[in-house]
């Protein structure tokens, strides 16, 4: 059944309100594709029936479920490998010098999806920096979707998922075979704290971070929302910290307190001195 234009507009507005995700006209096909399973799960016949329920009730929980269902959760291990090389070769060594007294490093993976990014960072730390075993190293990984967070916390990945970007050496060293899945070992998961967080609403106090990853998510927000999120992230980033956004993303046209810099072939952003 094809959704009526009025229903499409209603859903686009609802998703933007609850997640900040702006669904472009070329993406409306996924509304019915992604919401049909949700409609079936809650006992409704189809997506128009789901829209009717949303219109007739002010059910915040259902609205959040809809927003989560249409969120794009595309990720892989070591996505854009050069970023992790920059962490290994430059960023973490720099932080080890700066934080020698506190012996603490804090990283935030915002919009972590199904968790491959924070687990990849954990592998970099375990593999290349054994001297950090005595430090307090923490990776806070947040996402809007409870479903994605549940998967991330489980640390279980299919053969197809580990085939995407995870070197065989790392798979054998840091994962254990559990039936049809691969399970991340405790030495990886113990560095990561998974939490639910909506980037477009006020955040709870998370403390300050040395590094923030917010990659491949800003493209789904409008300019105003991007600027708001990045401005608030500046307050969560230490004055000498590092911000990484997606390769296809930019701060051009946004009045945000960051300056672009390069680490070899990798672009990152540092807080303005002012």
Identify whether residues 94 and 63 lie together within a single domain: no
Domain that holds residue 57: 5-69
Residue 34 has pLDDT above 80, yes or no: no
Residue with tokens 């927000």: 221
Residue 258 resides in a domain: yes
Residue 23 resides in a domain: yes
Say what the pLDDT of residue 73 is: 64
Structural domains of the chain, count:
2
In the sheet that holds 237-245, the strands lie side by side as 192-196, 136-143, 104-109, 209-214, 237-245, 266-271, 258-263
Identify whether residues 202 and 95 lie together within a single domain: yes
Residue 223 resides in a domain: yes
Residue 76 resides in a domain: no
pLDDT digits (tens, 9 = 90+) for 184-243: 999 999 999 999 999 999 999 999 999 999 998 898 888 999 999 999 999 999 999 999
Residue 49 resides in a domain: yes
Residue 75 resides in a domain: no
Of 21-30, 39-48, 49-58, 206-215, the least confident: 21-30
Identify whether residues 37 and 170 lie together within a single domain: no
Residue 33 has pLDDT above 90, yes or no: no
Cα(246)–Cα(198) distance, rounded to whole angstroms? Answer: 18
pLDDT digits (tens, 9 = 90+) for 134-183: 999 999 999 988 889 999 999 999 999 999 999 999 999 999 999 999 99
Following DSSP, what letter does each residue of 166-218 receive, concatenated? --HHHHHHHEEEETTEEEE-HHHHTTEEEEE--TTSPPPP---EEEEEE-S-G
Percent above pLDDT 90 for the chain:
63
Cα(19)–Cα(29) distance, rounded to whole angstroms? Answer: 18
Residue 74 resides in a domain: no
- What's the CATH number where 109 sits? 3.40.50.150
Query: Region 248-274: what's the mean pLDDT?
Result: 90
């Amino acid at each position: 059944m094809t959704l009526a234009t009025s229903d499409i507009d209603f859903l686009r507005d609802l998703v933007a309100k609850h997640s900040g995700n702006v669904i472009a006209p070329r993406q409306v096909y996924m509304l019915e594709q992604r919401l049909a399973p949700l409609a079936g799960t809650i006992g409704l016949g189809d997506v128009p029936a789901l829209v009717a329920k949303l219109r007739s009730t002010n059910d915040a929980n259902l609205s959040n479920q809809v927003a989560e269902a249409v969120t794009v959760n595309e990720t892989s291990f070591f996505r854009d490998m050069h970023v992790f090389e920059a962490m290994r070769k430059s960023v973490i060594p720099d932080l080890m010098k700066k934080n020698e007294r506190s012996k603490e490093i804090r990283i935030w993976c915002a919009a972590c999806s199904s968790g491959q990014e924070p687990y990849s960072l954990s592998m970099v730390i375990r593999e290349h920096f054994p001297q950090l075993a005595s430090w307090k190293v923490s990776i806070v990984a947040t996402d809007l979707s409870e479903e994605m967070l549940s998967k991330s916390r489980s640390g279980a990945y299919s053969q197809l998922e580990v085939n995407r970007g995870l070197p065989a050496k790392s798979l054998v060293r840091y994962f254990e075979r559990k039936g049809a899945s691969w399970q991340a070992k405790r030495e990886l998961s113990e560095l990561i704290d998974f939490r639910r967080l909506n980037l477009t609403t006020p955040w709870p106090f998370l403390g300050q971070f040395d590094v923030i990853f917010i990659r491949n998510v800003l493209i789904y927000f409008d300019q105003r929302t991007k600027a708001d999120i990045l401005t608030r992230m500046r307050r969560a980033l230490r004055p000498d910290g590092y911000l990484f956004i997606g390769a296809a993303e930019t701060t051009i046209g946004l009045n945000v307190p960051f300056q672009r810099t390069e680490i070899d072939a990798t672009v990152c952003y540092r807080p303005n001195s002012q």
